[in-house]
Structures are given as structure tokens and as C-alpha cells.
């Protein structure tokens, strides 16, 4: 447990009745980091962060957040943490400006600036029930940042946001990082985790499967790449050469279409071979593995006992 650690979790366990939701989770978040907690629905991510926030009492384990025990010192801890919760609401008839007044403490920032930043300045007098899903999410983010928190916990940050609003929110999270705020981000959007997080912790069935930078996870769990192209009269020597290239695992032929599977080195080798032979196809396409591929690779290799393997769209919330 280092002095730089903002969150330290050791052996966290939480059950609901007989169902074990979090099972021996270890997690460390250092000051200034953006750490992503990723995994399919039901992986135990939200319960883990709710224990970190002091909203749930763990059955076992040691938790320290900003030097406080979230269970016994919640009153001291909570004002230092900005939270954007997954399933929560405000009173239906509460206006946006009133929400800022209600949630602001003496350490509060200028709420007007935040509303401006998140495109809600025109909604000051709107009541909560009249806001769209995206506007509600942005308001929750404004409230999470209002009191200059030292740790920000964002659970399903961009759920319901359109692409432009997502980018806007991502920029705000990067700004937070630039000002030294520590962020713990819960998501099952892999592109979001890849774009924002310096380190990612992968959870499944209440356990941590692996952790590392996005590049490390991709490297460990998704080394493969796929190249597709069409050559109507594929010369046999070229095909033979491709099969023997370093890193190629498999070559599929379907009519004029060629699909080459292998590790990421094949992108360079196949491209070079095609250029050498003067056969550069018009439709050359390359699929480079990303974090989502890495996560799928990881989950396929380490299926949890009794847990179904999630569908890709469940992991990624649908690829955008």
C-alpha cells in the first residue's frame, strides 16, 4: 500500500444472499491515474465501486480510499469523492439550477461554467423529468465534478449519449486527468476504456482476470491480425510465399478472396510480398486487434465456472 495510492482494495468479497457477486478482488488506483474497470454485465464492477464509495458494506476485505475506511469513515470520505452512479435519479420536478444549489458545498466550483462546458447552460430552468437521457448523464457528471473531488468514480459514463456528446465527455475526463484528479471508470464500452484509461482491470464473475495498460492487454490476449484482399488470378507462387511468411498461421481462399490470419507482423510481411510481386489489390483490408478482441480472447481462454461467455455486443455495448 503506497502513499500515492488513492484506492486500495484487498480481498474484497460481497454476496447478495447466496450469490457471490465480488469474490476476492484486489485493486489499486494511484493518484492521478485513470483506471478502467471493465467486464460484461454482472461481472461485479458496480458492486466493487459501490463498496469503494461506502454505499455497500463488504462481507470481507480491506478497503482504503484517500486514507479513509469507506464503511466506518464514509462521512469524511464522501465529500472528497465525485460519483456518477449507474442507476440513480433526481427528484422529477427538481430544476437543473436547483440541483447545483442542492449539491454544492463550500468547496464547490462555479456550476454555471460546468453547465456551459457540458452543454446544459440552456437547461438551467428545466426540470429533471424533462431532460433527455444524455442530458441527465451530463448533469450527473456536472454534479460529480461540482465540489472539486480528489477521486471521481464514473459508472457507465456515456450510456445514452450521442457520439458528439460522448467525445465532449471524454474530453472532460482527459481535462480532469490533466489537473491531477484520479478517475475510476466503470464501463463495458471497450472503445471508451481504450480511449481514456491508462490502466484497465478486467473483471469476470466477481474476480479480476487481468490488469494492465490497453497495449499490454492487447499484446497479451489479442496478438492476431487478419488481412483480406481479392486477386482474381492469384499467382500460385505468391500464395505459396504468403503461406510461408513469418507469423502467418492460416490462409483461406474463397473464390478470388484471400484471408490471411496470423500475428500482427503479417501486416508488414504480406504488404511487402504483395508490393514485391506487383499485385497490390484495390480492396486490401486489415483488421488490427483492439481491446475488445483482447477481452474476448481473455474471456475465451478463461471461462468462469458457471458463467456464460458474453456476446461481443454485450462486452462492447455494440461496436460503433
Partner 1 sequence: MSTAVGRLARIELRLMTRDPLVLTFVFAFPVVTMLIIGGAFGTAPNPGFDHVNPAHWYVASYLTVVIAATGLVMLPVHLASYRERGVLRRFAAAGFPRWSFAIAQLIAGLVTTVAACGMLLIVAAPVYGIPAMHDWWRVAAALPLGAVAFISLGVLLGSLLPSARSAQAVGLLIFFPSFLLGAGGPPPQVMGSAVRHVAGPLPLTLLTNAVREPWLGLGPATGSLAAVAALAAAATFAAARRMAL
Residues lying near partner 1 in the complex (CB under 8 A): 53, 55, 74-75, 78-79, 81, 83, 85, 87-91, 93-94, 98, 101-103, 105, 127, 140, 143, 147
Q: How far is the CB of 302 from partner 1 (least distance, A)?
A: 32
> Helix H segments across the chain?
45-53, 74-77, 96-103, 111-117, 133-145, 163-178, 190-196, 214-221, 236-243, 266-276, 291-301, 312-316
Q: Name which of 64 and 269 has its Cβ closer to partner 1.
A: 64
Q: Min. distance of Cβ 171 from partner 1 in angstroms?
A: 24
Closest separation between CB of residue 273 and partner 1, Å?
57
Helix (H) or strand (E) holding 111: helix 111-117
CB of 89 to partner 1, least distance (A): 4
Query: Roughly how many angstroms between the first and final C-alpha of the chain, as a whole number?
Result: 38
For the chain, how many helices (H) and strands (E)? 12, 13
Nearer CB in complex with partner 1: 118/140: 140
Residues β-bridged to residue 261? 226, 250
From the list 29, 30, 58, 65, the residue with the least C-alpha distance to 44 is 58
Quick one: 31 or 127, whose CB is closer to partner 1?
A: 127
The alpha carbon dihedral of 98, 103, 108, 111 has a sign of: negative
Q: Quick check: helix, strand or coil at residue 90? A: coil
Closest CA to 253 of 267, 273, 233: 233
CA dihedral (17, 18, 19, 23) positive or negative: positive
Looking at beta carbons only, is 13 or 78 nearer to partner 1?
Answer: 78
Pick 85 or 200: Cβ nearer partner 1? 85
- In terms of residues, how long is the chain? 320
Q: Are strands 81-84 and 19-30 parallel, antiparallel or unpaired?
A: unpaired
CB of 310 to partner 1, least distance (A): 25
Based on CB atoms, which residue is closest to partner 1, 124 or 264?
Answer: 124
Contact 235, 247 (CB under 8 A): no
Cell readout for 200 is 484497465
Q: Which helix (H) or strand (E) holds 2?
A: none
Comparing CB distances to partner 1, the nearer of 56 and 166 is: 56
Amino acid at each position: 500500500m503506497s502513499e500515492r495510492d488513492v484506492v486500495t482494495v484487498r480481498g474484497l468479497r460481497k454476496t447478495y444472499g447466496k450469490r457471490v457477486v465480488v469474490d476476492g478482488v484486489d485493486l489499486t488506483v494511484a493518484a492521478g491515474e485513470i483506471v478502467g474497470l471493465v467486464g460484461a454485465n454482472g461481472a461485479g464492477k458496480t458492486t466493487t465501486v459501490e463498496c469503494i464509495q461506502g454505499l455497500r458494506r463488504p462481507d470481507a476485505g480491506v478497503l482504503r480510499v484517500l486514507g479513509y475506511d469507506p464503511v466506518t469513515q464514509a462521512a469524511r470520505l464522501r465529500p472528497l469523492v465525485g460519483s456518477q452512479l449507474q442507476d440513480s435519479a433526481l427528484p422529477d420536478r427538481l430544476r437543473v439550477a436547483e440541483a447545483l444549489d442542492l449539491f454544492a458545498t463550500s468547496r464547490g466550483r462555479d456550476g454555471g461554467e460546468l453547465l456551459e462546458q457540458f452543454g446544459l447552460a440552456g437547461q438551467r430552468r428545466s426540470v429533471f423529468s424533462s431532460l433527455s437521457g444524455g442530458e441527465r448523464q451530463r448533469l450527473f457528471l456536472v454534479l460529480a465534478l461540482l465540489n472539486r473531488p480528489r477521486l471521481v468514480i464514473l459508472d457507465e459514463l456515456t450510456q445514452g449519449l450521442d457520439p458528439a456528446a460522448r467525445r465532449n465527455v471524454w474530453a472532460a475526463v482527459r481535462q480532469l486527468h490533466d489537473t491531477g484528479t484520479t478517475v475510476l471508470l466503470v464501463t463495458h464500452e471497450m472503445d471508451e476504456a481504450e480511449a481514456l484509461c491508462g490502466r484497465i482491470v478486467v473483471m469476470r464473475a466477481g474476480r479480476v482476470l487481468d490488469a494492465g495498460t490497453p497495449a499490454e492487454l492487447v499484446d497479451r490476449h489479442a496478438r492476431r491480425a487478419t488481412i483480406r484482399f481479392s486477386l482474381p488470378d492469384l499467382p500460385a507462387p505468391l500464395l505459396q510465399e504468403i503461406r510461408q511468411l513469418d507469423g502467418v498461421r492460416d490462409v483461406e481462399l474463397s473464390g478470388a478472396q484471400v484471408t490471411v490470419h496470423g500475428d500482427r507482423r503479417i501486416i508488414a510481411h504480406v504488404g511487402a510480398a504483395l508490393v514485391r510481386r506487383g499485385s497490390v489489390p484495390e480492396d486490401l483490408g486489415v483488421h488490427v486487434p483492439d481491446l475488445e478482441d483482447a477481452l474476448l480472447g481473455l474471456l475465451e481462454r478463461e471461462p468462469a465456472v458457471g458463467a456464460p461467455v458474453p456476446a461481443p455486443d454485450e462486452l462492447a455495448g455494440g461496436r460503433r
